Structure 1
């Protein structure tokens, strides 16, 4: 009889990869040059604040690292280290996230296999949760060599990584391959449906399809590549589509459906993955560039999780590709807002400035509540048990799903080394305009379903505060959407599917009623501001102190209610505000002002209207009082409805697949 040990073999967990030829700006995420560790000076460090510190003293604290030479990257798996130089693979994509494997899988022992040619040394390092670097082992190599290092995951309870460095001596040293492996009984890999939801971004979709076709190993366990096209610029109608479809060997399928938002598109991917018998669905945004190696890494990790888990990939900034947008997300339970898991985390960390080895907080394992659906792998077992997405159109669908899965006993893991480059919203403002409706409604629905606090903690209070800020900022279109969101809460969960395709057109139809919603491409399309007609002269307007906010709000609202705008403000604006200066405490001082949008594509004319302020403020107060009074009843109603409105049957009806014509 064969024992498990006799039938076991070495299985690959993660291989060393290098950037493709068109991604020179991503090199710091894969490899960097210099010593094994370094000290990063932060702005608040004493040495960084010392103006007369000698330059030689500062050099003692610099990393000494530099970008690796692109011409030394020989393929996606191999590179050259020049004689006398040192290269580290202690990087985002090539260090091994030991603490994540220790926490979520049964793997406890691994090995690193490094194949080289030339003369030099291979040195293995590890870190702990505090970011302290420790040498583990090293080998001198000469000629063609295979270096094997047996490693344990037991010390990585709270954090830490493994990685290796190469140093070339008398001749160049070439890395031929590197692999992290574990010894286990062979297992079948789970099959995944890879689904992209798109809305008029066919060029992105085709680009990612080409990336997959150029990396066939990424498709090894992909049952099908599914594009749910909800736009008017159809992917199938683009030049080059037939070629891309052929290159994917019959795995590409297009589904055309009405615009049901992100939640409707991703729910379709969930639905189809259950129907076609996949073990997982991998949800992907359309406006991304994928690192195809991430697909295999997520599948390998998910297959070995002790409990079925949602596996998320991280997001890098598409237009600043060494910048990590977020390393993990949780929901603040008292406020129901996205929050950072740890206070010492750095938003938008730039690996081009400080590498993994220098950045202590990156070594602490980050446990999350959810992962954004720009790249998120969900087991179909989870879908069958807890349902599909809530029909929310956009906003809060991914966070709510993560919270729902967590309550059912299924965790979410944001896995380092798996990521996409995504159009970042760092320079967007989706709290104003048509998206404000969905933010307000869906945050309240998520709170009603999941908040552990009476009356939703601080959510209602903050909702009122947001109403006041938008109103004193003359953002009346935004506030109209927020009022509709409050009104629609009372219509109950049964309405969510009914309005999924119609709500956005309804909101956009209101734009003509509000000057702040009417975008013009050029500032010159507006009347020129009249010199000296600004609200204040002298120092810039600052935010009121926290202790003065209530008094400031009462005074400001009272002034805007009783004082009519200057007559000429309707004919000519008082000034122009760039988006970065577009803050409520500044806007509140104007009667009329031109404001540019976050994307830099245009500007709108904000005009103060006391009548709108009065009526909208009264309606907001009335609705919030009603919501406070009916909170417990509404919470029971929404919680009870979740199994039905997220079911395959409910979504099948919305997709038009219940006996009617559908795609």
Structure 2
């Protein structure tokens, strides 16, 4: 018995990203606007409108892989001026959509809605299919969608959305409103099989005003993203009716409800091979709406998090195709350390039952550890995404130096996370990097993390410790001050040449080459802070990002002025060989202790694996 399901709506949206980057939805030589009177979108005037885009092309190649799809269809509703429909296709080498002239259908001018239902024509190697409209004048479009036929019954799906928030009311209240109006109040099948769990770690949301129906809000202790998402998983497993899948989504994101609808529809069609796959949504740049930062990631051998794909821009058609046709490189496949980040990640409840719950690590590495532990097949697809603030906006040393260092080590010791990654190398490298840039406070954060890891699972698993240690890291990290205070401090130190008016990003991000002798000197003496110690002269301006290493610029300087240009703040670092020596000694002592204790420490962590990932532990930890 075959089944046909409406999979993807043809959408045009009204938000900052659709206005700023309309080619995510439609490539046109005329504008398109929403007409409130008609309740439909108006393709504004005589012109050409191509819907073979990131959101509005159909991912036939991936649907054929993830499902048992046999046929694909388009339903189109238009009225207004005369217009001509033609189907488009594209293969892996397409720079532009190919128009299939034989599919042409002419709509006569009409004030009444006209419909077209067609089966899509596919060519060998088709990656995506779409359509274009050539209009003689204004045309309205509504209620248009792609559907898919599969040769068996659809799967029963109960989808629960779990989102964790901490004092980000603007984002989360907007997303609650979208879910209520665009999903729960829609006439689509998902409305009857969807629920939303908001875990309020800040206890600031108005439950009476925002909750109701299939939307629940759970005031929670501040247990970080790991604790909040875990509570969402538990609530999804215990809700009535019981969820079959839980969709984890960050709070501080913008999302198209259509991405959630397509996730639900895709779950209903999955074939056996992908029946327990994770569905991973891409992270697009909140401020540059067509720019993709990550679409699944992996752990490198050096112990860092890395995106599996290069940066892409979805206003470029070739990037829309590249994203769909992309195959994970062999070197990443061989590592077997891929994960799907939890800004948008749909996980089957059956997988949670088999592999347990996440680790109690507060924030950072919880999603990567869980993905690597479960080793699922991972589904990605154009149109499944969220928009998130970019990394340079969100850089926080308490996260990157403390949480990341500690949590990767905890994860590896507890569940065998990323066995091919050398987190000790990354720890030592980050201490050395911060010391070379006079970032002593942040180097100490790395050692705080290392030492807290060595305190063992009994310390980590204690309720309240996760929040306490993160708050401590935030107190101890390098303090940035507003630009006016930074300018005042510079002049107080006698750096009279420093003038923020003359600072630009070219200067902040610049570096200069070093000779081989200079490189060897920097390696041996850490910018002359050991052995051949000297005070240094002058200053250099460098970026705040911890992974930046403008080695040529910082050589021989007495001061380094760290700039966070986006947030208009910074700090002045002074070379301090005494503090450098103290941190070096602390590192050596920690490494000696690590060498003595690591075998027993790993056994203790591994012995806590079943406890840390159990429902009973987490209910106690969360005070449920």
TM-score by length of 2: 0.83
Question: Residues 559 and 186 of structure 1: is their aligned pair in 2 closer, same or farther, counting only changes over 3 Å?
Answer: closer
Question: Residues 179 and 359 of structure 1: is their aligned pair in 2 closer, same or farther, counting only changes over 3 Å?
Answer: closer
SS at match of 2:89: strand
Is residue 2:582 matched to residue 1:615?
yes
8 Å contact kept, 1:261–1:394: yes
Is residue 2:356 matched to residue 1:387?
yes
- Structure 1, unaligned runs of 5 or more: 34-65, 658-663
What does residue range 222-237 of structure 1 map to in structure 2 within 5 Å?
Answer: 223-231=194-202, 234-236=204-206
2:216 to 253, 257, 262: 253
Mapped to 1, the partners of 2:378 and 2:517 lie a distance apart of 39
Question: Residues 600 and 587 of structure 1: is their aligned pair in 2 closer, same or farther, counting only changes over 3 Å?
Answer: farther
- CA shift at 1:491, angstroms? 2.9
8 Å contact kept, 1:193–1:278: yes
Instruction: State which drifts further: 8-17 or 286-295.
Output: 8-17
- CA shift at 1:451, angstroms? 6.0
Mapped to 2, the partners of 1:646 and 1:273 lie a distance apart of 16
Is residue 2:393 matched to residue 1:423?
no
- Aligned match of 1:39: none
- CA shift at 1:175, angstroms? 3.1
2:373 to 397, 400, 404: 404
Mapped to 1, the partners of 2:27 and 2:31 lie a distance apart of 5
Question: Residues 604 and 371 of structure 1: is their aligned pair in 2 closer, same or farther, counting only changes over 3 Å?
Answer: same
1:92 to 54, 61, 76: 54
Is residue 2:459 matched to residue 1:489?
no
Is residue 2:316 matched to residue 1:355?
yes
What does residue range 168-183 of structure 1 map to in structure 2 within 5 Å?
Answer: 168-169=135-136, 171-183=137-149
Mapped to 2, the partners of 1:366 and 1:139 lie a distance apart of 34
- Aligned match of 2:502: none
8 Å contact kept, 1:126–1:135: yes
2:22 to 23, 27, 33: 27
Question: Residues 533 and 209 of structure 1: is their aligned pair in 2 closer, same or farther, counting only changes over 3 Å?
Answer: closer
Mapped to 1, the partners of 2:226 and 2:519 lie a distance apart of 37
- What does the per-residue CA deviation read over 1:643-662, in whole Å, with 9 as the maximum and x for residues that have no partner? 321111111110113xxxxx
- CA shift at 1:508, angstroms? 3.6
Mapped to 1, the partners of 2:589 and 2:39 lie a distance apart of 61
Mapped to 1, the partners of 2:443 and 2:530 lie a distance apart of 16
Mapped to 2, the partners of 1:642 and 1:92 lie a distance apart of 41
Is residue 2:160 matched to residue 1:197?
no
- CA shift at 1:214, angstroms? 2.7
Mapped to 1, the partners of 2:9 and 2:398 lie a distance apart of 45
SS at match of 1:441: helix
Mapped to 1, the partners of 2:307 and 2:51 lie a distance apart of 27
- Aligned match of 2:6: 12
- Aligned match of 1:317: 285
SS at match of 1:501: helix
Mapped to 1, the partners of 2:160 and 2:169 lie a distance apart of 19
8 Å contact kept, 2:528–2:534: no
- Aligned match of 1:166: 133
8 Å contact kept, 2:480–2:569: no
- Aligned match of 2:522: 552
Q: CA RMSD in A?
A: 3.4
- Structure 2, unaligned runs of 5 or more: 499-506
Is residue 2:380 matched to residue 1:414?
yes
- CA shift at 1:67, angstroms? 6.7
- CA shift at 1:235, angstroms? 1.4
Mapped to 2, the partners of 1:545 and 1:105 lie a distance apart of 56
Mapped to 2, the partners of 1:471 and 1:146 lie a distance apart of 67
- What does the per-residue CA deviation read over 1:305-353, in whole Å, with 9 as the maximum and x for residues that have no partner? 2321211222222222232232332333x233233435xx3x1x333xx
8 Å contact kept, 1:262–1:393: yes
Is residue 2:127 matched to residue 1:127?
no
8 Å contact kept, 1:193–1:225: yes
Instruction: State which drifts further: 368-377 or 482-491.
Output: 368-377
SS at match of 1:131: coil
Instruction: State which drifts further: 421-430 or 555-564.
Output: 555-564
What does residue range 46-85 of structure 1 map to in structure 2 within 5 Å?
Answer: 66=29, 68-70=31-33, 78-80=41-43, 82-83=45-46, 85=47
Mapped to 2, the partners of 1:447 and 1:481 lie a distance apart of 20
- CA shift at 1:525, angstroms? 4.5
Question: Residues 546 and 76 of structure 1: is their aligned pair in 2 closer, same or farther, counting only changes over 3 Å?
Answer: farther
- CA shift at 1:268, angstroms? 1.0
Question: Residues 602 and 447 of structure 1: is their aligned pair in 2 closer, same or farther, counting only changes over 3 Å?
Answer: same
SS at match of 2:494: coil
- Aligned match of 2:246: 281
1:563 to 520, 524, 533: 533
Mapped to 1, the partners of 2:167 and 2:618 lie a distance apart of 23
Question: Residues 75 and 458 of structure 1: is their aligned pair in 2 closer, same or farther, counting only changes over 3 Å?
Answer: farther
- Aligned match of 2:325: 364
Is residue 2:235 matched to residue 1:272?
yes
- CA shift at 1:545, angstroms? 6.8
8 Å contact kept, 1:28–1:67: no
Aligned residues: 581
Instruction: State which drifts further: 392-401 or 99-108.
Output: 99-108
Instruction: State which drifts further: 185-194 or 295-304.
Output: 185-194
8 Å contact kept, 1:562–1:610: no
- What does the per-residue CA deviation read over 1:79-110, in whole Å, with 9 as the maximum and x for residues that have no partner? 43633x21111111111122221222222322
What does residue range 497-536 of structure 1 map to in structure 2 within 5 Å?
Answer: 497-498=461-462, 499-510=465-476, 516-517=478-479, 519-520=481-482, 522=484, 523-528=486-491, 529-531=493-495
8 Å contact kept, 1:285–1:374: yes
Mapped to 1, the partners of 2:67 and 2:166 lie a distance apart of 37
Mapped to 2, the partners of 1:503 and 1:358 lie a distance apart of 42
- Aligned match of 1:208: 175
Mapped to 2, the partners of 1:229 and 1:71 lie a distance apart of 35
SS at match of 1:231: coil
Question: Residues 253 and 608 of structure 1: is their aligned pair in 2 closer, same or farther, counting only changes over 3 Å?
Answer: same
8 Å contact kept, 2:295–2:380: yes
Is residue 2:598 matched to residue 1:648?
no
SS at match of 2:323: helix
8 Å contact kept, 1:31–1:68: no
TM-score by length of 1: 0.78
8 Å contact kept, 1:382–1:405: yes
Mapped to 2, the partners of 1:147 and 1:504 lie a distance apart of 57
Mapped to 2, the partners of 1:609 and 1:262 lie a distance apart of 36
- What does the per-residue CA deviation read over 1:259-286, in whole Å, with 9 as the maximum and x for residues that have no partner? 1111111111111111112112222211
Mapped to 1, the partners of 2:38 and 2:603 lie a distance apart of 57
8 Å contact kept, 2:364–2:399: no
